[in-house]
Structure 1
């Protein structure tokens, strides 16, 4: 009976984690799409400032500004669609499991070291004396 309840709680926890991950991904994609729209509107605005308002008319500075902004947008795109695939929920889970395993190994090594340095039989003999 307890094992069924435990399994149900694990399933609910996993579903909750999946839902949270989906919500995070939706926010990331929404921000990326908003960035793209702002990039398009901003690029047109920069061209208009340079060409129509004649601000810095002797030099086409808007090309450098748009190129730099495009680079930032591409970095954002890579972060959302490439990096998150490789370093997503499964990667986080495996990293967490590795760290827990290392900690457990270190704890067991420390326990062995303590047991060899301070055997329980010596402690019990000192208590009896």
Structure 2
């Protein structure tokens, strides 16, 4: 704040946007890796708990841990699909295109509503009599010859 050397480097808006997008993608991938590690550890624990310890043998579904792991696998695959496939198609450019479409639709709707209001609430038209209106609006006395 009180230093003599002033920083003149500023990140422009486009670089800042790219930085934010990269940070968001890194956070998504990091979350996916955490989910994968949790999935592996959880699957191993489920395998150990049921067959080795005999916990859950009295459930109505035999080998319930396999079904739990399969459901968890499905959820993990959805997460994986979302991070790597959906972001490829629905990235920042896709969001911008959708935003422009919505703004264009909204502007079109506003124009339609404005036209409808203009048609319904037309101002009454009065006949224009220029000589009468000039006489009424002119504060100066008429020229006498």
Match of 1:75 among 51, 74, 78: 78
Q: State the number of aligned residues.
A: 115
Residues 102-127 of structure 1, C-alpha deviation per residue, up to 9 Å, x if partnerless?
A: 1112222233333334456849x9xx
Residue 17 of structure 1: how far off its partner (Å): 1.9
The residue aligned with 1:5 is none
Q: Which runs of 5+ in 2 are unaligned?
A: 1-10, 134-145
Partners of 2:30 and 2:46 in 1: how far apart?
A: 24
| 2:99 equivalent to 1:96 | yes
TM-score relative to the length of structure 2: 0.68
Secondary structure (helix, strand or coil) at the match of 2:115 reads helix
Partners of 2:117 and 2:55 in 1: how far apart?
A: 75
Partners of 2:63 and 2:125 in 1: how far apart?
A: 84
Which of the pair has more CA radius of gyration? Answer: 2
The residue aligned with 2:56 is 56
TM-score relative to the length of structure 1: 0.76
Q: Which has the higher helix share?
A: 1
Partners of 1:18 and 1:122 in 2: how far apart?
A: 56
In structure 2, the CA distance between the partners of 1:22 and 1:121, relative to structure 1 (3 Å rule), is: farther
In structure 2, the CA distance between the partners of 1:90 and 1:54, relative to structure 1 (3 Å rule), is: same
Secondary structure (helix, strand or coil) at the match of 2:110 reads helix
Q: Which runs of 5+ in 1 are unaligned?
A: 1-10
Q: Which is further off, 81-90 or 40-49? A: 81-90
